[in-house]
Amino acid sequence: MNELSHQSIVWEPSEELISQSNLVAFMKKHDISDYNSLFKRAEEEPEWWWNAIADRIRFIKPYEKILDTSRGIEFPEWFVGGTTNIVENSLSCHRGTEVWTSPAVLGESEGGETRIWTYEELSAEVSRLAAGLQSLGVQPGEVVAVYMPNVNEAVAALLAVPKIGAVVMPLFSGFGVDAVLARLTASEAVAILTVDGATRRGQTAPMKEVADAAAARAPSVRNVVCLRRTGHPVTMGETDVDWEGLCEGQPTDMPNAEMPAEAPALLVYTSGTSGQPKGTVHTHGGFPAKLSLDLGLMMDMKSSDRIVWFSDMGWLVGPLLAFGATLMGASFVIADGAPDYPDNTRMWRLIEKHRVTFLGVSPTLIRGFMHGAGVGDHDISSIRIVASTGEAWTSDAWWWTFENVLKRDGPIINYTGGTEIGGGILAGSVLRPMKACAFSGPVPGMGADIVDMDGKPVGPGNVGELVLRVPSIGLSRGLWKDNERYLSSYWRDIPGCWRQGDWAVRDEDGFWFVLGRSDDTLKIAGKRTGPSEIEALLTATGKVREAAAIGIPDEIKGESVACVVVLDKNIAAGVDVEKELSDAVIAGLGYPYKPKFILTVADLPKTRNMKVMRRLVRAVCLGKPLGDTSSLVNPEALDAISAAVVQSGHMVSAGDNL
């Protein structure tokens, strides 16, 4: 069993927190006495459960049936006969309430400028842009790309496109021409919404130039709409449109297009291990219903919350805030640039400035602070909840967050799922006790299980594949124009199950732990081991800031451990520290886990939401094709690892590849 699961309960919710929670209010409404009863009923009566969740969102025309699986569980139809618009639930539903005049978006530039839009102001901006797009001839069902940094107008763009029934496709603001072009081509996008330039770490990077170069090679693109915000020079061609000019004189109260509830609203591409990225599809009804469950019930997000969650609009967290935080009527800080620039405690400074109550983090982001400036001298006592996603925790990072951010007085809502899920599979809850690094359990109604490759449950204490046995309301509706790839990617590996691609284990107390991606998993002397087990031992030495444990071919054991590490700033690289780290792994897991080599580098390859890409670390060390690298924020890290491999002499020949 994974060592993280040998834990004691370290936090329990107070009676005050329980009584004021959204979940308790929901259970009272449905005459349910406790959480266990709620979970049991959700799993056993899926139609009741999803009807109850759907009752939390607004429909224009009521649906006749919540779920139709006549095409199989892989292709369910939800909200049969119903119509809505995702903007109906993120903006229009707040009209006439106290939320309407409260802050929706608090935009923070790297230079410290703050622009606050109330819900009323955001709605007006969305309406003007939507009408402008309609005047350009954008039709329902057509795809419009949003290639923008974290500015207020990016939120308006994400909402304006589905408001007229078109499909919004957010793109990572750090993408280069080829990555943008690949997605424009695959989606057949008709327009790109972009900016003149983006500011990061004091430098301005051109964005319209990238958009122009991609659009010139994408025959479907009719217009590039440019917001001028940095003063970076741009060239405006015949099909280019000035953002302000497009919105000028447009109505501030344009009605939402009435769409079938299953019509696509959001297209988000997620990187594949090989080949082209996969286009996940989320609908006008399904995405808000899932966000209502995950954010509203599991994470206890309220209209009184103020949120900081550093990410890019091109990853799921961006739409999660744009559509989900607004669904809840909350306020969120959208910060342009990096969390540690222009000062190394910028994130904590923003929390203090805006009295943030809800903080979203990744373990990698936390490790950067815990080995750096910490929280500084900032007053962050307003935080009531921390949500974590992106990757598995290491114990030291979890405890640092619990003690230094929450002062042991609030929960870390551990949350995992992904872009394809439209949210989470496993989550914590304010009603449930907490163990370090653990999930309280599955999100109700998801049909989650841990199984072997034949689909048989492995039982407590045994590592297996995390799967879903039933359809989920937030699950991607296939892949964009590629249902065969959808089936082969998720449904065909394990009979009757959606395979998430994560290794997981649950303990005897019912707590769940995710050990990492199953394609990252090592098999040492016949035993499957998640990389987080090894990485936790390395970081626990106090010498390592972050680590990537990978498997490499071994003639005897089948696979051996190799580690690529970033040392703490005061630790010198060399044979002495490598031996100390190797000994720590042996002491924790046994001699078969002795690393074949340990490489020291300055950085690990990460996405903008700070997820370490272990598959790329492994590919570099083995000299294998890298596959899709467009999501990386620091591709130069791959070159540095390659150089370290060559210098060390540890390159594994292609003929030895697994």
| CA geometry: angle 115, 117, 120, nearest 5 deg | 165
What is the residue-averaged pLDDT of the chain? 92
- Do the beta carbons of residue 323 and residue 158 sit within 8 Å? yes
In what helix (H) or strand (E) does residue 516 lie, and over which residues does it extend? Answer: strand 512-517
394 falls in which pLDDT band (50, 70, 90)?
confident
Reported in sequence order, the residue ranges of 119-263 that DSSP labels E, i.e. its strands, are 143-147, 167-171, 191-195, 197-200, 203-206, 223-227, 240-242, 259-260
Instruction: Write b or e for each residue in 428-453: b if 16 or more Cβ atoms lie within 10 A of its Cβ, otherwise e.
Output: bbbbbbbbbbbbbbbbbbbbbbbbee
Contact 148, 313 (CB under 8 A): yes
> What fold characterizes domain 520-656?
GMP Synthetase; Chain A, domain 3 (3.30.300)
pLDDT tens for 91-149 read 999 999 999 999 999 999 998 999 999 999 999 999 999 999 999 999 999 999 999 99
The identity of residue 560, as a single letter, is S
Distance of CA 248 to the CA centre of its chain: 34
C-alpha torsion sign, points 165, 167, 173, 179: negative
Average pLDDT over residues 486-506: 92
Q: Is pLDDT above 90 for 627?
A: no
Confidence bin at 391 (pLDDT 50/70/90): confident
SS3 201: coil
**pLDDT per residue over 473-495, tens digit each?**
999 999 999 999 999 999 999 98
Nearest Cα to 192, choosing from 264, 133, 144?
A: 144
More confident residue, 170 or 394: 170
DSSP codes, 296-335? IIIS---TT-EEEE---TTSTHHHIIIIIIHHTT-EEEEE
Q: Residue 3's CB: how many other CB atoms inside 10 A?
A: 14
242 CB-near residues (< 8 Å, 6+ apart): 225, 226, 228, 236
Per the CB < 8 A criterion, the answer to whether 346 and 361 are in contact is no
Residue 50 burial (CB < 10 Å; 0-12/13-18/19+)? buried
Q: Residue 526 — very low, low, confident or very high, per pLDDT cuts 50/70/90?
A: low
Cα separations in angstroms, 384 against 357, 362, 563: 5, 17, 36
Of the two residues 2 and 394, the one the predictor is more confident about is 394
Residue 243 or 365, more confident: 243
Dist. CA 102–CA 91, nearest whole Å = 12
- For 21-51, write each residue's pLDDT tens digit: 999 999 999 999 999 999 999 999 999 999 9
Phi and psi angles of residue 30, each rounded to the nearest 5 degrees, phi first: -105, 15
Kindly report, residue by residue over 192-246, the tens digit of the pLDDT: 999 999 988 888 999 999 999 999 999 999 999 999 999 999 999 999 999 999 9
Q: Which residue has the higher pLDDT, 534 or 13?
A: 13
Task: Answer positive or negative: Cα dihedral of 503, 488, 418, 194.
Answer: positive
Check pLDDT > 80 for residue 275: no
Percentage of the chain surpassing pLDDT 70? 95
Whole-angstrom distance, CA of residue 629 vs CA of residue 436? 32
One of 3.40.50.261, 1.10.10.10, 3.90.1010.10, 3.40.50.980 is the CATH number of 119-260, namely 3.40.50.980
Q: Write down how long the chain is.
A: 658
For residue 654, count CB atoms less than 10 angstroms from its CB and return exposed for 0-12, middle for 13-18, buried for 19 or more. Answer: exposed
Helix (H) or strand (E) holding 619: helix 614-622
Burial class (CB in 10 A: 0-12, 13-18, 19+), 25: exposed
Distances in whole angstroms, Cα of residue 583 to Cα of each of 425, 523, 592: 36, 20, 12
Instruction: Return phi, psi of residue 541, to 5°.
Output: -70, -20
Tens of pLDDT, residue by residue over 556-582, are 667 889 999 999 988 999 999 999 999
Residue 657 in this model has a pLDDT that exceeds 60: no
DSSP percent split of the chain into helix, strand, coil, nearest 5 = 30, 25, 40
pLDDT computed for residue 534 by the predictor? 87
pLDDT of res. 589: 80
Domain residue ranges in the chain: 119-260, 520-656
Over residues 354-362, the mean pLDDT reads 96
